[in-house]
Each structure stands twice: as structure tokens, then as C-alpha cells.
Amino acid sequence: MSIEEFNKIPHLLVDYVEKWAKERPDDIAIIDADDGKWITWNDFKNMMDLIALEFINMDLQKGDVIVTMLPLLPEHIFISYACFKLGILFCPLDVRLKERETVRCVKLLKNARRLVYIHPDDTDSEDKWGRKKFYAFKQFARKIREEVPEVTDFIQFGPQEDADEGTIGILNFIKKARANYKRYYSDPQVFNQKMEELEKIKNSIDPANDCAMIIYTTGSTGFPKPAMLSNAGIICQNMCMAKGFEINKKDRMLVNLPPSHVGCQTEQLMTTIFIGGISVILHAFKAEKSLLAIEKYKVTAFGQIPSLFVMEWRLKKKYGALKDYKDYDLSSLRFALYGGQAVSRKFLKKLSEMARYFGSGLGLTEMSGFVSYTPFGDDVTPDDILAGLGHDYPITPLSIREKMKENGMAGDEKPDGEIGEVCYSGPQVFLGYYDNEDATKKTISTEGICYTGDLGFKDDEGLHLVGRGKFVIKPKGYQVYPPEVEEHIAKLPEVSLAAVVGAKHEVYSEGVVAFVELNRGKQITKKKLKEHCRQLAGYKRPSLFVFLDQIPLNRVDKTDYHDLNKIVGKYIEEERAAGRWDAEK
């Protein structure tokens, strides 16, 4: 894919909803596999427009920020595209964040002219494992109201009577939006004026330089940072991904990942919208529901992190599933994509039995999604996929470089085969971190080259990662940085020092292990440590705690992670022998 090809297509996300609504108004755009709803392109466009018009009535403007903490509902998608049409920055948060984490994420956006928070009511639900769980969404909103007075508006999914005073119930919001839209539509002159107003605002958006979406990523300090993605960057990724994996308008893409991540938003959902296919959505991932959706709605393509595939493959009726994995009809599947974690040949053999075509690559929040693509075709084998992370496209060129120079310019490029900083450039590079110029300058060089933080090299077989900068751990495909977890554990008065590393896990690919050194004369149980870590998002919590008399330090008195990585295997084997860690039950 080249810049010449890119310049021939529209660069705004909403252009593709409008395109398919005009050309194929009655064709299906979205299937809600949880509720059985089928939504046409015309329905999609109308909902986008009526919500956008209601946002205008609320005096929301280009550059304002709407933060959502919602599952992947159709209404969530309509809200996002209404934001894109008006130039409002759309920021979806992970529904598994804890109160402290949620408040911090919202606080980082407090300098917006207007800041809106949209959330569900308190909810009794289940996690991906089917375990009962209570989500205190309304309580989080109350804490945000208390600690972030810059939030001007709250919208709660549910009836008005269940919402707090000053909070708009989504049913009232949609009812009012529909009534206003119907009133506009009844008068052709008024309706045309409203549509011209929307068009004028849309045309004021700079696709390459205005932010469309904020996705939180994890920075070098171990705390989330709000990365700003542009319309053009996302569209470029959509174009390349559709080409790299031959995604087309006949595809039905299962979208079952969290809407707070590029894997869900820019890679699966928006690429499918870009190409005119059908998005089959699940509100949240569940292994059994995913296979049922593939079977019922004849899904042709989907992408997941490896641990989710393993959860599906392990489904057995005797353990409570509706039926064994082998009894699901997955014959409609054409393509399966994985990313976020390294895999084995055994994994790829199993994946090749699930779908005719399969592939992977490197995806990054700061690059709007995928940037490298493994080979695709009938003759591709597991060994071809294991050979590397694939190749880049000319429009998003890969380079291996020296560290960024002190003056902010990119380091010199290294020859093929030499290890260095993995870097990318081109339209997909994000705009920077919201209201954080210092962090932006450490990631994007003055020439616009993005430093990913990974170390690797390239050769004829493409990109190879040899290590992750900043000690990042990737359980279940998520990014976990040791400093955040270590700092949280160290808050306990009994703890002198904590050190966190990753260890191989057959289900999660990597599990989080916390080494704990206690203050002299103090005692604490692993149960209390686990309870304390429940204040962290689930994927950040250690799966194993190990007590050490003294955590090893290096020659400058910093935690010696190299030594810890050498000894962690012993403790993992002990856990496996006891039927824990990743042992199949």
C-alpha cells in the first residue's frame, strides 16, 4: 500500500458509514449477537446523525471530550461515530478498571473545554470465565463527580428514575433525540438546514491533524497515558489491514474484544466498516458465546489474543459448557487473526484447524493498530508465521534505529540484522499523548518517527522482536508494567519491596508474578496480598506471590530483574505440580 493509493480514498471515519448507507441502505452493517438485533447501514447512519444533532443541542463542540465506560453495545458504536462526525474526542475506557484507575483516567482529560462521562448503572454480571461479579459503575461516576468537577455532563445507560440527580438517563436522551430528529424531518427545509450544519462541522475536521479517538495505553512510568489517534491514521490502518489479510465486504467479522482497545476499535470494527462488511458484535468476551455467534451468524473472520483461543478450545460439556469445542460448527470461518502474544507451533497447528487462513503481526496503540503483516494465502504454514512478525507496507515504513537523540531527532537507522529500537513512520503515527507534551516528545521524534519501546531487528523474513523495552508484561495481550503493580503492593505497611516479572503461561501466554520482601518482623498472608490487588484491573493482578528474604539488587541498588527471571521458573514448576498456574483442570 502506498501514499498514492491512500490519497485516493476518503480520510474520515464517518465517510464510510455514509458511503454504505447511500449505496446499500438496506444491507446489514451490525449484528448484535447478544440481543439478536440486525442493524442496516441506513439505521446506522440515522442513529449517528440523530445523536450528533442532540450533542449539538447540548452545546458540545469540536475538541470537547466524551469518555465512555460501556460494553460493546450498538449504542456505544453510534455514540462513537456521532463524536467522529462532530470532531468530539471519543475516549472509551475499560469496564474492568477499578475506581482509582477510572478517576485518574478522567482527570488526565480535565483541561478539555467540555468533558462528558457516559456509564452504565451498577451491574450484576459475569466475567469472561462465567463467575458472578458486581460492577460499581454508578459509584465510580459519583467519585468522578466528587473529584473531577471539570466533568460537565453525566449520561447513564438505563431509565431516568435509576439515574442520580443531574445525570441524564440514556433512554430519555435517545427519546429526546428521536423526537427532535422526527420534528426536523417533518419539515424538509429545517431538516436540510440541520444536515448542512452537520456537513459543515464534518468538513471542518482535519483528518490528519485533529484527534478523533483517545485510547489509553501504558507508559514508561507504568501508568496509563491517553494516546490521540486521528481519522487519517485509523483509515490508513483499515486500508492496510484489509489488504494484508484480504478482508472484504462479504466478510462477517466477529468483534468480541474490549472497546477500550485498538484490537476491537480500529482493527476489527472500523476495518469492517471501512470495507463494508458485517460486524457481529458481543457486548463482552465469553468463550462459549463467541463460538455460538460464529455458528449461528456464519462468521467468516475474527481476531483474538491467544489466551482467548485457548479458552475456547478448552470448552467441555462436562465442565459446564453447552457442548464440547469440537461439536461447534465453525465451517464458515475463513480467517483467524491473533496478536499481542508469542505463540508455539502447537498453537498455530490448532489455529489452522479452526480456520483455513490464519495470520498475525504487530499492533500498537500509538500506531492506530496493525503495522506489520505475516504472509497470507493457501500455501502459508505455521512455520511461515513463526518466522517473524511479518512485513510493513511502504506507507507505514519500519525502521530499526539507535535511541532518540537528545535534540529530539530520530537515532540513526541500523542495517538489517542489527538489534535496535523498533520504529515506524507515516500517516498511522498517533498525534501524541493528550495534554502531555513531554511524554509525546519521548515517543515521536521531530521528524515524526514513532519509537515503539520494543527492541528488535529486521531481515528478509520481516520484523523480529527480541525483547520488550520498559519490562512490559503481556498477560492475555494486555500491557502491564511492573512499576504500577509494584507501587500498589508496596503500599501495604508489611511490605518492604515488591518486584514484578512475567512468566510463561499456557493460557495467558504470560502470567504476572510478584516477589515480595517484608519489613523486618512483619507478616502478611498471600490471601491478604490478593485481596489488596483486587483494587487493580483483573489483568494486572499477580497470579502468583513469592516471598523472598531479600529481593536481589544490581550494582546500582536497583531490582535485578535478570536474577528474578532466572529463578521464577522454579516457583512456576512448583505451582504446576500442585495443579495451579496454567495446569489444565
Amino acid sitting at position 132: K
Are the C-beta atoms of residues 393 and 362 closer than 8 Å to each other? no
Give residue 361's pLDDT: 93
Give residue 585's pLDDT: 56
Give residue 191's pLDDT: 95
- pLDDT tens-digit series, residues 62-93: 999 999 999 999 999 999 999 999 999 999 99
Residue with cell 520484523: 463
Give residue 221's pLDDT: 38
443 phi, psi to nearest 5 deg:
-110, -40
Distance between CA atoms of residues 518 and 312, nearest Å: 39
Give residue 555's pLDDT: 44
Beta strands in 251-352 (DSSP E): 252-255, 278-281, 301-304, 335-338
- pLDDT tens-digit series, residues 444-471: 999 999 999 888 899 998 998 865 555 7
Distance between CA atoms of residues 302 and 335, nearest Å: 7
Distance between CA atoms of residues 448 and 425, nearest Å: 6
Question: Considering all CA atoms of the chain, what is the largest pairwise distance in Å, rounded to the nearest integer?
Answer: 80
Q: Is the predicted pLDDT of residue 218 greater than 70, yes or no?
A: no
Mean pLDDT over the full length of the chain: 92
Give residue 236's pLDDT: 97
- pLDDT tens-digit series, residues 182-209: 999 999 999 999 999 999 999 999 999 9
Residue with cell 538489534: 419
Give the mean model confidence (pLDDT) for residues 132-160: 93
Are the C-beta atoms of residues 397 and 426 closer than 8 Å to each other? yes
Task: Tell me which architecture the domain covering 480-577 has in CATH.
Answer: 2-Layer Sandwich (3.30)
Show the cell assigned to 456. 528488535
Give the mean model confidence (pLDDT) for residues 233-254: 96
Give residue 306's pLDDT: 84
242 phi, psi to nearest 5 deg:
-60, -40
* C-alpha closest to that of 194 among 50, 1, 404: 50
Q: Domain 358-471 has what CATH class?
A: mainly beta
**Cα dihedral 232, 237, 240, 241 in deg (nearest 10):** -150
Give residue 202's pLDDT: 97
Distance between CA atoms of residues 303 and 211, nearest Å: 26
Are the C-beta atoms of residues 224 and 484 closer than 8 Å to each other? no
Task: Tell me which architecture the domain covering 3-285 has in CATH.
Answer: 3-Layer(aba) Sandwich (3.40)
Beta strands in 17-99 (DSSP E): 28-32, 37-40, 65-68, 89-92
Are the C-beta atoms of residues 225 and 439 closer than 8 Å to each other? yes
Give residue 556's pLDDT: 41
Strand-pairing partners, residue 90, are 66, 213
Q: Is the predicted pLDDT of residue 558 greater than 80, yes or no?
A: no
- pLDDT tens-digit series, residues 481-529: 777 798 899 889 999 889 999 999 988 889 999 999 998 789 999 999 9
Distance between CA atoms of residues 314 and 308, nearest Å: 10
Distance between CA atoms of residues 422 and 411, nearest Å: 11
Task: Please classify residue 296 by burial: count the beta carbons closer than 10 Å to its beta carbon, then call 0-12 exposed, 13-18 middle and 19+ buried.
Answer: middle
Distance between CA atoms of residues 581 and 513, nearest Å: 10
Give residue 222's pLDDT: 52
Sorting pLDDT into bands at 50, 70 and 90, what band is 175? very high
Range(s) within the chain of domains with CATH label 3.30.300.30: 480-577
Q: Is the predicted pLDDT of residue 219 greater than 70, yes or no?
A: no
Within 58-209, where are the H helices?
A: 74-86, 99-107, 137-147, 170-186, 188-203
Sorting pLDDT into bands at 50, 70 and 90, what band is 220? very low
Are the C-beta atoms of residues 78 and 51 closer than 8 Å to each other? yes
C-alpha to C-alpha distances, 573 to 406, 548, 581, nearest whole angstrom = 44, 17, 9
- pLDDT tens-digit series, residues 328-378: 999 999 999 998 766 778 889 999 999 999 999 999 999 999 999 998 888
C-alpha to C-alpha distances, 391 to 374, 410, 450, nearest whole angstrom = 6, 21, 17
- pLDDT tens-digit series, residues 8-65: 999 999 999 999 999 999 999 999 999 999 999 999 999 999 999 999 999 999 999 9
Strand-pairing partners, residue 432, are 228
C-alpha to C-alpha distances, 275 to 138, 280, 370, nearest whole angstrom = 37, 14, 16
Give residue 379's pLDDT: 87
Show the cell assigned to 320. 459446564
pTM (two decimals): 0.82
C-alpha to C-alpha distances, 74 to 117, 133, 141, 297, nearest whole angstrom = 18, 23, 22, 17
Q: Is the predicted pLDDT of residue 324 greater than 90, yes or no?
A: yes
Range(s) within the chain of domains with CATH label 3.40.50.12780: 3-285
* Straight-line distance from the first to the last Cα atom of the chain, in angstroms, rounded to the nearest whole number: 46
Give the mean model confidence (pLDDT) for residues 153-173: 93
- pLDDT tens-digit series, residues 402-442: 999 999 999 999 999 998 999 999 999 999 999 999 999 99
Range(s) within the chain of domains with CATH label 2.30.38.10: 358-471
Q: Is the predicted pLDDT of residue 231 greater than 70, yes or no?
A: yes
